[in-house]
Structure 1
Amino acid sequence: MMHKTLQPICNAALLLCWLIVMTACTDDGALLPKSGGKPYEVVVTGNTEEAVRAVSTLLGALTVAGLPQREPTFDISQTTKGIGQATKYARSIINVNIDPEMTGKTRMSHRLDVYAKPQIVINICSPSARQLTTDIRSRQDDIKGIIDRFELEAGITRLSRHRNIKAEKAVKKMFGDVQIWIPEELTAMKKGHDFIWLSDNGKSAMRNICIYTYAYDNVTLPEGAARKRDSVMRKNIPGETAQMFMTTVHSPAPTARTTQHNGRRTMELRGQWVMKGDIMGGPFISRCLIDSTKQRITVAEAFVYAPGTAKRNIIKQLEAVLYTFK
């Protein structure tokens, strides 16, 4: 028999355990298993082969802009078995169902962390395969955007746990009010005038982040930003000889778009770089913070050198870094 003096202590312990369990259960996604697969791997499933094939074919034709070689936006696998044990833990799932009793056009919804974490599940329902084929083409950008945002947020979440604080302090010291999260594996650093280059010095795939600033001086955007990039990189990232230096590929020209990011006017450039006088090259993405008050433009750029290797996931991983730039 339990001693009477121990009863209150045991009751308190049981209550504490119950509170811990209840707290864990209410923490959204806390008890979910880890999802399987790599970023941008998508499982398309559903209740008819025709519907699954229609969505898979459409998404499978999408390619990533700005890369030196053609790479698909998604790596797609298909099954008509629906969401079961074989698919429910996938990282990204598109579940397509044909419901003849449904009326109207194709409907689409999505949810995060349904069976695993991180995970995105997109549900598409249509009254017929014919209606699906008609409607789905106009929704491909929506589907791509949903998965892109999911992967970007997952990348930022991972980055938040694996940061190079020492490098971040160096950036803060040089650029003042600039903040950016640096991946912990980027440990090599080179400093110049208003310039920092961080790299992991990878042998098969080298990941790089550069931060630099220059005077606005009525720079014409985006053409002027690309020219400024050339002058900054030529000075700070030379090759093995004086005749070798990094430059931007201008044909095709980098793509540009201007947005508001963290309350500041931001321009994004996507394109390719090459090493003049050498065979090195690869993709780059830059985010330019435009400060019209101080007449300064501050740039965070990611570039990749990975000869003979798929570059989509590498540059996408570094793109998440740029979204912490403010």
Structure 2
Amino acid sequence: MQLKYLYLIFIVVCITSCSKKNEITTGKLNPSFGSRNHITVVIEDDLWNGEVGDSIRKRLAQTGFGLDKDEPIFDLDQYSPEIFSTKAKTSRNIVVFSNSDDYLFTLEKSFYATPQNLFFVRANSNKELIQNFNTHADSIISVFRKSELNEEQHALVRKELLDTDIVKEFFACTIKIPKTFQLVLEHDNFLWFQKDLPTGNSNLVIYEVPISSIENSKDDIEDNLIKVQDSISKLFIQGSNENSYLITETGFFPSFKPIQIQEFSGYEISGTWEMENDFMSGPFLNIALKDSYYDRYLIFQAFVNYPYKSKRDLLFEMEGIIKTVNFYDNEN
């Protein structure tokens, strides 16, 4: 009788073990978590507190272009391998550093959770570990930014959205804007949406100009984009003081980089705005897309006015909104 019971217990244990093994092999992963633009860094404390950690912070926690000096592009949470817990392993963005005999840089997708980007950076000395990281830092940043933008846009489409038929009517495209924004100004080929904040606002302006305003023999494209931005802002984005209006900060030349949305190429411009004849300032993001069919540059200008508060994630929300633009979801 006792042998029968022992046999039954053995069978139950085998079935349970096989069941658990199947759960692992079938790839059932927990959903990842994390605040927007956060990275979990797994590294020994002595490395983190030394030159390796300095190199990591210099790249992954660098100041965002146009943002205040204390606003990094990513917030970093450091764990030593010994306390890299199950919960921490479900972070959305992870970089694991270690001294090892092998020299390795690799990206694993959805390793502990999903969606997830997990980078492994290894080398056999501190000097080579820094070199390995610096060689691939731009790739790490690009992957994390793309992933975070994707998360931002997924969150956006789950929100209650504003009726933006007027965008379709004016500019022959669609865009997803949360209902927390409202249309505050409408003019020929110009729309201004605004979201109230406790002590400021987030703003999205959409307008179009002829291609010849941007591409001509008088000035280069970068200068013309700034001139157009400033001239449009002077007309429509005015302050409370007399003769005050939004301009590009003259002492801080913006960053330009090429961009492609669907088949439309253009420029992404980041910098700082200020108010002429006033003391207001903040970051802006301008995306200008060339549309040869309509002989225009379609321009999306986002700027945040939120004095003494963090603006990084607010501007990132604006970037997510702008990049939902769709030129094909349009019956006309």
TM-score normalized by the length of structure 1: 0.81
Structure 1: distance between partners of 2:51 and 2:94 = 15
Can you give the 5+ residue segments of structure 2 that lack an aligned partner in the other structure? 1-21, 215-219, 327-332
| Superposed displacement of residue 210, structure 1 | 1.0
SS of 1:88's equivalent in the other structure is helix
1:193 corresponds in structure 2 to 188
Instruction: Trace 1:154-303 onto structure 2 (pairs within 5 A).
Output: 154-166=151-163, 168-176=164-172, 178-219=173-214, 220-303=220-303
Q: For residue 210 of structure 1, what is the amino acid of its counterpart?
A: V
Structure 2: distance between partners of 1:200 and 1:182 = 10
Instruction: Describe the shift of the 1:142–1:64 C-alpha distance in structure 2 as closer, same or farther (beyond 3 A).
Output: same
Instruction: Describe the shift of the 1:253–1:46 C-alpha distance in structure 2 as closer, same or farther (beyond 3 A).
Output: closer
Q: For residue 176 of structure 2, what is the amino acid of its counterpart?
A: W
Structure 2: distance between partners of 1:242 and 1:48 = 55
Structure 2: distance between partners of 1:305 and 1:186 = 14
1:97 corresponds in structure 2 to 98
Q: For residue 197 of structure 2, what is the amino acid of its counterpart?
A: G
What CA deviation, in whole Å up to 9, does each residue of 1:114-139 have, x standing for no partner? 43455332222323434212322222
1:149 corresponds in structure 2 to 146
Cα RMSD for the two superposed structures: 2.6
Instruction: Describe the shift of the 1:53–1:118 C-alpha distance in structure 2 as closer, same or farther (beyond 3 A).
Output: farther
SS of 1:121's equivalent in the other structure is strand
| Superposed displacement of residue 97, structure 1 | 2.8
Q: For residue 306 of structure 1, what is the amino acid of its counterpart?
A: Y
SS of 2:65's equivalent in the other structure is coil
Structure 1: distance between partners of 2:310 and 2:162 = 29
1:120 corresponds in structure 2 to 117
SS of 1:197's equivalent in the other structure is strand
Instruction: Describe the shift of the 1:240–1:50 C-alpha distance in structure 2 as closer, same or farther (beyond 3 A).
Output: closer
Q: For residue 141 of structure 1, what is the amino acid of its counterpart?
A: D
2:85 corresponds in structure 1 to 84
Instruction: Describe the shift of the 1:116–1:184 C-alpha distance in structure 2 as closer, same or farther (beyond 3 A).
Output: farther
Q: For residue 179 of structure 2, what is the amino acid of its counterpart?
A: E
SS of 2:177's equivalent in the other structure is coil
Can you give the 5+ residue segments of structure 1 that lack an aligned partner in the other structure? 1-21
2:126 corresponds in structure 1 to 129
Q: For residue 194 of structure 1, what is the amino acid of its counterpart?
A: N
2:329 corresponds in structure 1 to none
2:55 corresponds in structure 1 to 58
Q: For residue 98 of structure 1, what is the amino acid of its counterpart?
A: N
Contact 1:48–1:98 (CA under 8 A) maintained in structure 2: no
Structure 2: distance between partners of 1:56 and 1:147 = 19
Q: For residue 87 of structure 1, what is the amino acid of its counterpart?
A: A
2:315 corresponds in structure 1 to 315
TM-score normalized by the length of structure 2: 0.79
What CA deviation, in whole Å up to 9, does each residue of 1:35-54 have, x standing for no partner? 13x22222211467427855
Q: For residue 199 of structure 1, what is the amino acid of its counterpart?
A: Q
Contact 1:163–1:181 (CA under 8 A) maintained in structure 2: no
Contact 1:59–1:74 (CA under 8 A) maintained in structure 2: no
Contact 1:304–1:311 (CA under 8 A) maintained in structure 2: yes
| Superposed displacement of residue 112, structure 1 | 3.8
Structure 1: distance between partners of 2:140 and 2:224 = 34
1:32 aligns with 2:53: no
Instruction: Describe the shift of the 1:187–1:34 C-alpha distance in structure 2 as closer, same or farther (beyond 3 A).
Output: farther
| Superposed displacement of residue 208, structure 1 | 1.3
Structure 1: distance between partners of 2:268 and 2:199 = 27
Contact 2:55–2:130 (CA under 8 A) maintained in structure 1: no
Structure 2: distance between partners of 1:97 and 1:127 = 8
Instruction: Describe the shift of the 1:270–1:145 C-alpha distance in structure 2 as closer, same or farther (beyond 3 A).
Output: same
Structure 2: distance between partners of 1:195 and 1:173 = 12
